[in-house]
Structure formats: C-alpha cells, structure tokens
Amino acid sequence: MARKKSKKVNIFFVILMVAILGYFYYKFDASQSLQSKDDPKEIVNIKTFPDDIVVEKESLISKPTWYKEINIEYPKGDVVGVADIASFAKEKADKFWCLNDEENLTEAQSKKKADKAMYECSLEIKYSYTFSNKLFTHKLVIYGSGGVHGIYSIETFTYDTDGNKLALVDLVANKENYKKIISDKLKIGFNEYQKNNPNTNFDSSIEEIIIEENIDTLPYVATKDGLVFLFNETNGLSNEDGEVEIKIPKNELIGIIKSEFLN
C-alpha cells in the first residue's frame, strides 16, 4: 500500500515538474518573439546592393524640326528608381522649349536674323550612376543650348535597397544641426580643392556657394567611400571650370549619417 502511494506521489511530481517547465518555456518563447518583433535593436536590414551591378542605358535621339535636336540617355532594367529617372528624362525632352518654338521661323527666315544660333537649339542628357552597399544614386547631367540662355544642370536621385527615394535629410541621424556640420566639411573640402587646383576660378566665394540653407538643394551621389557633392556653374563655378566634386569620406560621416546607410 505504501509502495503504491509512493509511486503515485512520484508520478504527481513528474507531472508537476513537466507542467512547470512547460510554463516557463512558453513564457520565455513568447518574450523572445515579442522582443524580436518590437525591439528595433533586433531588426537588422541585411539587404545590400551587389558589387557587380551594371545598369544599361537607353538612348533617344531625334531632330523633330530643322532647328531642334534632342539626344538623351536614361537607364533601363530593374534597378531601384529606373522608371522614375527614365520618366524624368523623357519629360525634359518633351518640354524642351526653344526660342523659335514661339517665333516659328522657317530656316530661310532665320538666316536673315542677326544671330542664327538664337534659333537653333539642342538638348543633351548624359546618364551615369554610383552606389554604396545601401544607397544607389542615378545622375543626369543636362546641357541645353539655344535661346537667350543655355542650360547646364546636374540632377541626382538616391534610393535605398527597398526602392525608397531619399533626400539628404532622410539620411541624417540628427536633423537639428546637420546643415551646419555638412557645410563646414564642404568648406574644408573646397579649401583643399583650391590648394590642389590653384588655377580654378569661381564666380563666387566659398561662403556664397556653400550656404547652410542651401545644403538640401545640392546634388550629391553615394559611393562606397562616402558622399560626393557636385558643384558647377549653376551653383558658383565659372563656365570653363566644369564640374567640381567635393567628397566627405565615410569616416567623417559617422554620427552625421544614419549608421544603416554607412555599413
């Protein structure tokens, strides 16, 4: 009788221990699931752009009238942002306006004008791209001639691995003082550039070119080594200087740019 009672007690304790262990396992598993779902430290974006990305270019060459010529490049394929860039370039071509669009002169009539070049025009768009592990930048350089003033501008478009289009402000970790920090670093970069290129002429002083309020409007490209800001005649360089690149190295962007974009 005592042996039967002892066996029942042992069985009871075994069942009790299994129940207790099961309960604590359930609570531990639930807490782990909750943490991995809600704790941002556990959410790691491991997506990166492959090192061997090659973006093909499409070209559109046309001469719709005797006085207008269009030659543009834009990307094709399935890389992030391709559709946006192609649409942007084509829209530029569709809306390209020449002085003669308004005056509607024939070629014979234009030859009687003092300056025939005023009635001939062209648009050219050159495409290129750069990328880092987490950022991809499309770059368009736009040249236009004809009319009273020509066109020369640089347009850049940066995307993350999920296809989100990002402005500079979207990259920064602290939005309160990033403009001053970046402008100060660019001024240092400009001073170095001028030391290494003493014959370069600028239309304006560095203080006039790099203004905190204008930092968000500067075209930039993402590379594996850091961010490169682009300057040309439209934001302070003389026509003959062409494009000037000022790079802020990756190690100097730590604490300024979100770490997820620097890895």
Q: Are residues 111 and 209 in the same domain?
A: no
Q: Are residues 157 and 247 in the same domain?
A: no
Specify the 3-state DSSP secondary structure of 74.
strand
Q: Are residues 147 and 181 in the same domain?
A: no
Q: Are residues 183 and 254 in the same domain?
A: yes
Last residue of a domain, one of 113, 139, 166: 166
Q: Are residues 125 and 175 in the same domain?
A: no
pLDDT in tens, the chain (263 residues): 544 445 554 555 556 565 555 554 444 444 433 333 333 333 345 589 999 999 999 999 999 988 899 999 999 999 999 999 999 999 999 999 888 888 888 888 877 776 666 778 999 999 999 999 999 999 999 999 876 667 888 999 999 999 999 999 999 998 889 999 999 999 999 889 888 988 777 766 777 778 888 899 899 999 999 999 998 877 766 656 678 899 999 999 999 999 999 87
Instruction: Give the residue among 122, 167, 150, 126 at the shortest CA–CA distance from 233.
Output: 150
Report how far residue 57's alpha carbon sits from residue 31's, in angstroms, rounded to the nearest whole number.
Answer: 50
Q: Are residues 191 and 257 in the same domain?
A: yes
Containing domain of residue 91, as a range?
Answer: 56-166
Q: Where are the beta strands (DSSP E) in the chain?
A: 56-62, 68-76, 121-131, 135-145, 151-160, 165-166, 220-223, 226-231, 244-249
Q: Is 135 exposed, middle or buried (0-12, 13-18, 19+ CB in 10 A)?
A: buried
What's the confidence (pLDDT) of residue 22? 56
pTM here is 0.77
Q: Are residues 136 and 188 in the same domain?
A: no
Q: Which helix (H) or strand (E) holds 37?
A: helix 2-38
Q: Which helix (H) or strand (E) holds 232?
A: none
Whichever domain contains 122, its CATH number is: 3.30.565.40
Beta bridge partners of 74: 58
Q: Are residues 63 and 156 in the same domain?
A: yes
Give CA 33 to chain center in angstroms. Answer: 35
Report how far residue 211's alpha carbon sits from residue 181's, in angstroms, rounded to the nearest whole number.
Answer: 11
